[in-house]
Homo-oligomer: A and B are copies of this chain.
Amino acid sequence: MISKKMENMVANSSAIRAMFEEGNRLAKIYGSENVFDFSLGNPNVPAPDAVKYAIKELLDEEDPVVLHGYTNSNAGYEDVRIAIADSLNERFGTHFCSKNITMTVGAAGGLNVILKSLINPGDEVIAFAPYFGEYRSYTDNYDGVLVEVSPNTTDFQPKLDEFEQKISPKTKAIIVNTPNNPTGVVYSEETIQKMAAILEKKQKEYGTDIYLISDEPYRELAYDGIEVPYLTKYYANTIVGYSYSKSLSLPGERIGYLVIPDEASDSEKLIGAVNVATRILGFVNAPTLQQKVVKACLNEKTDISYYDRNRETLYNGLKNLGFDCIKPEGAFYLFVKSPIADEKEFCNEAQKYNILIVPGSSFACPGYVRMAYCVSYETIVNSLPKFAELAKQYNL
């Protein structure tokens, strides 16, 4: 009796989520110290203390009717949006003001809101494999068609030639995610410039607007001092979707924002549509207490040393065991080549050692597996002997 669309969705339901639930089941049986759950991007670093202090101060000093009430605009509190715009302008030399910012229920909420606002049935949305599998569901929610650019397994930078060929008059949006889930790759400034040039050219050729949607939950997680270019500066029709899930370790609180710059085509209309979409999709507004929290914590620095140690330890450990992978520059994922072509089978074998990893098929990139290293350092260290046994099994 459920809808046909949902029948399919349930059947192809997230392998990541299923594995995360399986991890919790195994932890109950074997003890969590004996389960090596690399399945979900659920940060292991606690939210900074500033979050706790901010909440307590807000509770003591703000009128609860305002603090927990509907916001005047569905876009969120004006003061919060001003503070975010100012902070972005300071960091990236942009020129946003409050109207360019819409507070969202995390990045996932933001992506749904912007796709609902843009997509007509049959419109195409391009994503570069490997990509976060939910992009397909989000696009399908609005009867859009996800068009894949095949993975470049040499360095996992986007294949720009194929990208150019796949842009059609029906292309409405491109989703990029840098630092990338699942590869940890950061797109260089040169890549962004080339991508922007292709988009400009194709917009002119077809007389269309093509929006570049930058999904940025991992912006603050970049290692070795690498720069993550701010995309609105390279291409006018850029929309940014941000989340505090990873930067402040608040994934359960569902707080993020969209940036729609004045330079984007039909900016004003699009901002209006996003406002209405926020309401009618049932978000209504981003959770109010958390809006105020992120304002209070705008200058908090994400401590990436924790993830960095995990990154080094897992990457070096696996390389030494003979596994094949590139070193991530950002986010908290390692994308490892499966020693056998059928990576689902490899994941099943790993599970026999209580190692939970996600098949690359979930990211449109079979033959690889994703390991989320946002876990305790002990998990990494203790997993390595198990990975050693697994490597031996495959004669690595």
A21 part of interface (Cβ distance < 8 Å)? yes
Contact with B along A267-301 (1 / 0, CB 8 A): 00110110011011111111111100000000000
Contact status B3-A254, CB under 8 Å: no
The verdict on A251 contacting B69 (CB below 8 Å), with A4-B120, A276-B10, A290-B287 known, is yes
The verdict on A287 contacting B284 (CB below 8 Å), with A6-B273, A55-B55 known, is no
Contact with B along A58-69 (1 / 0, CB 8 A): 010001110111
- C-alpha spacing A348/B7, complex, angstroms: 48
A249 part of interface (Cβ distance < 8 Å)? yes
A382 part of interface (Cβ distance < 8 Å)? no
Contact status B59-A276, CB under 8 Å: no
Chain B's nearest CB lies how many Å from the CB of A278? 10
Contact with B along A20-61 (1 / 0, CB 8 A): 110010000000000000001011111100011001100100
A266 part of interface (Cβ distance < 8 Å)? yes
Contact status B270-A2, CB under 8 Å: yes
A355 part of interface (Cβ distance < 8 Å)? no
A74 part of interface (Cβ distance < 8 Å)? yes
Contact with B along A312-344 (1 / 0, CB 8 A): 000000000000000000000000000000000
Chain copies in the assembly? 2
Contact status B105-A283, CB under 8 Å: yes
- C-alpha spacing A14/B7, complex, angstroms: 32
Name the residue of chain B whose CB is nearest to the CB of A45.
Answer: B65
Contact status B284-A2, CB under 8 Å: no
A152 part of interface (Cβ distance < 8 Å)? no
Contact status B252-A287, CB under 8 Å: yes
Contact status B64-A46, CB under 8 Å: yes
Chain B's nearest CB lies how many Å from the CB of A347? 20
The verdict on A1 contacting B46 (CB below 8 Å), with A10-B272, A280-B9, A287-B252 known, is no
Contacts of A250 in B (CB 8 A): 68
Chain B's nearest CB lies how many Å from the CB of A183? 21
A118 part of interface (Cβ distance < 8 Å)? yes
A112 part of interface (Cβ distance < 8 Å)? yes
Contacts of A110 in B (CB 8 A): 282
Considering only residues 325-371 of chain A, those with a C-beta below 8 Å from chain B are none
Contact status A282-B111, CB under 8 Å: yes
Chain B's nearest CB lies how many Å from the CB of A266? 4
Stretch at the interface among A135-143, A161-169, A194-202: A135-143
- C-alpha spacing A142/B9, complex, angstroms: 14
Contact status B3-A116, CB under 8 Å: yes
- Complex A-B: 24 CB contacts under 8 Å: A2-B117, A3-B117, A3-B118, A3-B120, A4-B120, A6-B116, A6-B273, A10-B272, A13-B276, A17-B74, A21-B72, A21-B73, A51-B64, A51-B68, A65-B249, A70-B251, A113-B282, A134-B280, A137-B279, A137-B280, A251-B284, A253-B288, A254-B283, A283-B283
Residues of chain A whose beta carbon lies under 8 Å from any beta carbon of chain B = 1-7, 9-10, 13-14, 17, 20-21, 24, 40, 42-47, 51-52, 55-56, 59, 63-65, 67-74, 105-106, 108-113, 116-120, 123, 134, 137-138, 141-142, 209, 249-254, 265-266, 269-270, 272-273, 276-277, 279-290
